[in-house]
A and B are shown apart, each in its own frame.
Chain A
Amino acid sequence: MINTSEILQTIQMIDQQHLDIRTITMGISLLDCASVDAKIACNNIYDKICRKAERLVAVGQEIEREFGIPIVNKRVSVTPISLVAAASDTNDYVPFAESMDRAAKACGINFIGGFSALVQKGFTESDRKLIRSIPQALATTDFVCSSVNIGSTKAGINMDAVAEMGRVIKETSLLTADRAGFGCAKLVVFCNAVEDNPFMAGAFHGVGEGDCVINVGISGPGVVYHALQEVKGQPFDLVAETIKKTAFRITRMGQLVAREASARLGVPFGIVDLSLAPTPAVGDSVARILEEMGLEVCGTHGTTAALALLNDAVKKGGVMASSHVGGLSGAFIPVSEDEGMIAAASSGALTLDKLEAMTCVCSVGLDMIAVPGDTTAETISAVIADEAAIGMVNFKTTAVRIIPAPGKVVGDLVEFGGLLGSAPVIPVHPFSSADFIHRGGRIPAPMQSLKN
């Protein structure tokens, strides 16, 4: 039998240290839903999502009860809609988003991702239509998430798409101005997007995936933070070891839940995403882990090194615990969703420039950052270009989820509520990047040798 202290340790992790499964995400291919008639395509989409995900929430709840582990989100990701809708004779893709939203509500899930386009090298006509529909789609639906991949290490960066996404983000924020630009919280711009990411808002079901698959995203910043409190003042070797062991345990649990969900739903298991995903709850923060390593405030000198160690140790610990690791895997640094990051940004210690540096070594990118409402589309595009360049050169996924909060200025707090939390509005550089963005074209793919 497992010994007492092990059992109590697990219970403590769940009860007091916010250990949970962050999401069970069902990936569904919609490629077989295409039709020349957009109405038929939309009905096909609704029917297929409802058919496949009908039992997702119920099965998630069963597993929660039996294992005593909370599963916070049950979600669905679908094939990028720009591919599915390409066959349809229509210019307006908003009805596709509405079908996704209706299906999400019918299944009882809380987000559906995949109102997406992959334009790292160029646009198809369908990609253009989808991107034009994003602001309206995000304003009129509740649960639909959108993402656009504008660059990759192999293709370079599509600067026309970068310029377009700056405008789309601005428009999305204005259309949801009554909710502080909430639409932008559901929109991610990627470089090197992954096809099996279970986390929103950037989840979509890649074309290399099977018809239907279960991906699981784990979490547990609170558990890592707690474990590090036991090694105060010790060298980094021990810090890394402690994080690895903790990540291993958390991931084993994720693997168990993933297998169980896959068996009960009769859907193949895809991957476990080993991510430390914070929440606004006290004790569930990635920033506080970095501070526990010895930084006075997250964002001060040393933060990037601390995050690099954390990100790497999480992967090393988790990778042996699961048969298939994928998705984004690493430490997330969404400002509004992390109690410690909110505090650090409010105090001025955590700036946009420091966050950008941190994204060189963390799992994704600039995430859930509120900037002043009068930030220009070109400045937002330039932020996206910088972030995409980091991803492109370093062969990693980077992303931008930025909210130019209408009517807000530096120092205001923007409330999104729930897991999305609240974000202090932080400054952007006042100097123009407009001429840079207006050039358009493509930034060529980088060298893969002579790495310095």
Chain B
Amino acid sequence: MRAIVTVIGEDHVGIIASVCSALSQQEVNVLDITQTVLGNYFTMIMLVDTEACKLPFSDLASLLENFGKERALSIHMQREDIFQAMHRI
């Protein structure tokens, strides 16, 4: 299943590395990444594939959310379909 992971928060060292390693531990494959820093705000959007992940989708989403909270980041993981539905005909 393809999903979008968004990571938003104050910029600090190692955000990409920590998020990617958290994803790889759950065998989530990263397909694409875009990332910008606006002012002091870090925004990263990743397209990922959760096919090989053993956790149910909702558990994985909660795990990432908590992982983010510990690092003062807001992390959302949502199925790609919702964005497709809203922005593409």
1/0 contact string of B63-89 vs chain A (CB within 8 Å): 000000000000011111111111110
Complex Cα spacing A379 to B15, Å = 65
Is the CB of B19 closer than 8 A to any CB of chain A? no
Chain A residue numbers with a CB within 8 Å of B82 are 10, 67-69, 253, 256
Closest beta carbon of chain A to B28's beta carbon, Å? 14
Tell which of A6, A10, A255 has the most Cβ of chain B within 10 Å. A10
Chain A residue numbers with a CB within 8 Å of B83 are 2, 6-7, 10
In contact, B34 and A4 (Cβ under 8 angstroms): yes
Given known A-B contacts A1-B32, A4-B43, A8-B6, A253 and B61 have beta carbons under 8 A apart: no
Complex Cα spacing A450 to B82, Å = 47
Is the CB of B58 closer than 8 A to any CB of chain A? yes
**Residues in A373-401 with C-beta less than 8 Å from chain B:** none
**Residues in A1-34 with C-beta less than 8 Å from chain B:** 1-2, 4, 6-11
Is the CB of B45 closer than 8 A to any CB of chain A? yes
B86 touches which of A1, A10, A61 (Cβ 8 Å):
A10
Complex Cα spacing A189 to B63, Å = 47
**Residues in A55-97 with C-beta less than 8 Å from chain B:** 61-62, 65-69
Complex Cα spacing A11 to B6, Å = 9
B57 touches which of A6, A7, A66 (Cβ 8 Å):
A66
Q: Name the interface size band of chain A.
A: 20 to 34
Complex Cα spacing A76 to B62, Å = 28
Is the CB of A354 closer than 8 A to any CB of chain B? no
Is the CB of B30 closer than 8 A to any CB of chain A? no
Is the CB of A408 closer than 8 A to any CB of chain B? no
Chain A residue numbers with a CB within 8 Å of B79 are 66-67
Chain A residue numbers with a CB within 8 Å of B84 are 2
Given known A-B contacts A66-B57, A68-B76, A256 and B45 have beta carbons under 8 A apart: no
In contact, A252 and B85 (Cβ under 8 angstroms): yes
In contact, B87 and A11 (Cβ under 8 angstroms): no
Is the CB of A249 closer than 8 A to any CB of chain B? yes
Complex Cα spacing A143 to B49, Å = 41
Nearest opposing residue in chain B for A256, CB measure: B85
A2 touches which of B61, B76, B87 (Cβ 8 Å):
B87
Chain B residue numbers with a CB within 8 Å of A7 are 4, 6, 45, 83
Nearest opposing residue in chain A for B84, CB measure: A2
Closest beta carbon of chain B to A335's beta carbon, Å? 31
In contact, B57 and A65 (Cβ under 8 angstroms): yes
1/0 contact string of A285-296 vs chain B (CB within 8 Å): 000000000000
Nearest opposing residue in chain A for B80, CB measure: A2
Is the CB of B47 closer than 8 A to any CB of chain A? yes
In contact, B6 and A2 (Cβ under 8 angstroms): no
In contact, B87 and A1 (Cβ under 8 angstroms): no
In contact, B81 and A256 (Cβ under 8 angstroms): yes
**Residues in A342-388 with C-beta less than 8 Å from chain B:** none
B78 touches which of A9, A61, A66 (Cβ 8 Å):
A66
1/0 contact string of A249-270 vs chain B (CB within 8 Å): 1001101100000000000000
In contact, B87 and A249 (Cβ under 8 angstroms): yes
Chain A residue numbers with a CB within 8 Å of B40 are none
Closest beta carbon of chain A to B75's beta carbon, Å? 11
Chain B residue numbers with a CB within 8 Å of A65 are 57-58, 61-62
B4 touches which of A2, A255, A256 (Cβ 8 Å):
A2
Chain A residue numbers with a CB within 8 Å of B34 are 4
B76 touches which of A6, A11, A255 (Cβ 8 Å):
A11
Is the CB of B25 closer than 8 A to any CB of chain A? no
Chain B residue numbers with a CB within 8 Å of A68 are 61, 76-78, 82
In contact, B45 and A4 (Cβ under 8 angstroms): yes
Complex Cα spacing A7 to B82, Å = 10
Chain B residue numbers with a CB within 8 Å of A9 are 87
Nearest opposing residue in chain A for B78, CB measure: A68
Complex Cα spacing A61 to B62, Å = 13
In contact, A4 and B78 (Cβ under 8 angstroms): no
Nearest opposing residue in chain B for A250, CB measure: B86
B88 touches which of A2, A253, A255 (Cβ 8 Å):
A2
Nearest opposing residue in chain A for B83, CB measure: A2
Closest beta carbon of chain A to B4's beta carbon, Å? 6
Chain B residue numbers with a CB within 8 Å of A67 are 78-79, 81-82
Chain B residue numbers with a CB within 8 Å of A249 are 86-87
Chain B residue numbers with a CB within 8 Å of A62 are 58
Chain B residue numbers with a CB within 8 Å of A2 are 4, 80, 83-84, 87-88
Complex Cα spacing A372 to B76, Å = 47
Chain A positions near chain B (C-beta within 8 angstroms): 1-2, 4, 6-11, 61-62, 65-69, 249, 252-253, 255-256
Query: Closest 7 interchain pairs by CB?
Result: A65-B58, A68-B78, A256-B85, A6-B87, A252-B85, A2-B83, A67-B82
Q: List 8 A-B contacts (CB under 8 A).
A: A2-B80, A7-B83, A10-B86, A65-B57, A66-B57, A66-B61, A255-B85, A256-B85
